[in-house]
């Protein structure tokens, strides 16, 4: 084992993974993923409350129509959402809408604000932008990430169930619709996520270093995060598609637990994507630190 590590210790691929794993562990990425998940959970329900209140006050959609849309979801999830919407419909008010919207924005943007700080730390940058500028950028990416979560939930997790139910209600069977749905279900979220991650990783670092962090340099981490979330979402989709098999044993709690795990994976994969970019940045701009012995190495103690 030691001889093998000794032979490959200066190879670029080994150096990359050696430094990446070291950074993920030293920067406490897994713990930060948990804290980001906490803020995401806090922001989801205030946003749902504000969304339903907005629909109630604007009259854009009949509440009865929203309940009919729930028929395409699994039974356990239908029941949870129906009860939540009924309570919300009974207590809707203008002040409640404002409070829930502000609370949702604040908690979610706090998570993204922290994410931007972590990305700066992964590069070793010192933030040069003012507090207001940072908050505005965080707010923009908050809305983008929330839209991404809803897009993933609708397409990758419940997408197939919703599509099958809609087609059965409409009594339509057409292979072209199936192909079109397959392309849209995978293509739209994939493109949206890739662009979102590119912008997030490009504009999160300090403005004084923005010329050093190019779109090309953040592509590897963006691709990693996009593919990672697709794989995680497919895993959640497998659970949802097999919901009936598990509901007898675990009930609705099983779905909630898996959803929380999915949110944690979303947060952690996003952070690891930033570490991928910062590791490549370090290897390119500080080449003298790549040669052995290097301080940011997982295996340095084995070859000391």
pLDDT of residue 173: 66
Q: What is the pLDDT of residues 131-160, one digit of tens each?
A: 888 888 888 888 887 777 777 667 765 666
pLDDT of residue 211: 72
Q: Quote the tokens at residue 233.
A: 């979402």
What's the chain look like in SS3? CHHHHHHHCCCHHHHHHHHHHHHHHHCCHHHHHHHHHHHHHHHHHHHHHHHHHHHHHHCCCCHHHHHHHHHHCCHHHHHHHHHHHHHHHHCCCHHHHHHHHHHHHHHHHHHHHHHHHHHHHHHCCCCCCCHHHHHHHHHHHHHHHHHHHHHHHHHHHCHHHHHHHHHHHHCCCCHHHHHHHHHHHHHHHHHHHHHHHHHHHHHCCCHHHCCCCCHHHHHHHHHHHHHHHHHHHHHHHHHHHCHHHHHHHHCHHHHHHHHHHHHHHHHHHHHHHHHHHHHHHHHHHCHHHCCCCCCCCCCCCCCC
pLDDT of residue 53: 64
Whether 283 is covered by a domain: the verdict is yes
Cα 291 from chain centroid (whole Å)? 35
Domain total in the chain: 1
Asked if residues 41 and 264 have their Cβ atoms less than 8 Å apart, the reply is no
Whether 8 is covered by a domain: the verdict is no
Average pLDDT, the chain: 75
Range(s) of the domain holding residue 160: 13-289
Whether 74 is covered by a domain: the verdict is yes
Q: Average pLDDT, stretch 237-254?
A: 59
In the chain, % of residues over pLDDT 70: 61
Burial classification of residue 31, based on how many CB atoms lie within 10 Å of its CB (0-12 exposed, 13-18 middle, 19 or more buried): exposed
Whether 49 is covered by a domain: the verdict is yes
Whether 296 is covered by a domain: the verdict is no
Q: What is the pLDDT confidence band of residue 167, given thresholds at 50, 70 and 90?
A: low
Whether 304 is covered by a domain: the verdict is no
Whether 179 is covered by a domain: the verdict is yes
Closest CA to 118 of 38, 257, 24, 17: 24
Whether 299 is covered by a domain: the verdict is no
Q: What is the pLDDT of residues 52-87, one digit of tens each?
A: 666 666 555 555 655 555 554 555 555 666 666 666
pLDDT of residue 140: 86
Asked if residues 118 and 61 have their Cβ atoms less than 8 Å apart, the reply is no
Q: What is the pLDDT of residues 46-55, one digit of tens each?
A: 666 666 666 6
Q: Average pLDDT, stretch 250-259?
A: 66
| pTM, to two decimals | 0.75
pLDDT of residue 92: 56
């Amino acid at each position: 084992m030691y001889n093998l590590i000794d032979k490959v210790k200066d190879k670029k691929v080994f150096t990359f993974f050696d430094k990446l794993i070291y950074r993920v562990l030293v920067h406490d990425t897994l713990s930060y993923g948990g804290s980001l998940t906490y803020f995401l959970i806090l922001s989801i329900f205030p946003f749902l409350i504000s969304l339903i209140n907005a629909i109630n006050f604007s009259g854009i959609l009949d509440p009865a129509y929203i309940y009919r849309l729930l028929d395409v979801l699994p039974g356990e999830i239908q029941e949870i959402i129906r009860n939540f919407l009924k309570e919300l419909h009974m207590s809707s008010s203008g002040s409640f809408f404002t409070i829930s919207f502000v609370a949702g924005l604040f908690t979610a943007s706090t998570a993204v604000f922290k994410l931007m700080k972590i990305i700066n730390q992964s590069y070793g940058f010192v933030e040069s932008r003012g507090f207001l500028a940072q908050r505005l950028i965080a707010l923009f990416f908050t809305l983008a990430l929330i839209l991404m979560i809803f897009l993933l939930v609708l397409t990758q997790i419940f997408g197939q169930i919703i599509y099958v139910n809609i087609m059965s209600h409409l009594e339509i069977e057409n292979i072209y619709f199936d192909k079109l749905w397959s392309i849209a279900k995978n293509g739209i979220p994939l493109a949206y996520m890739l662009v979102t991650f590119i912008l997030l990783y490009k504009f999160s670092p300090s403005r004084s270093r923005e010329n050093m962090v190019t779109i090309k340099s953040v592509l590897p981490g963006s691709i990693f995060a996009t593919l990672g979330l697709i794989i995680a979402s497919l895993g959640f989709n497998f659970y949802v598609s097999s919901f009936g098999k598990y509901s007898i044993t675990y009930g609705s709690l099983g779905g909630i637990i898996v959803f929380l795990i999915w949110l944690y994976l979303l947060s952690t994969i996003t952070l690891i994507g930033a570490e991928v970019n910062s590791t490549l940045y370090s290897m390119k701009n500080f080449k003298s630190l790549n040669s052995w012995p290097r301080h940011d190495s997982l295996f340095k103690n084995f070859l000391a």
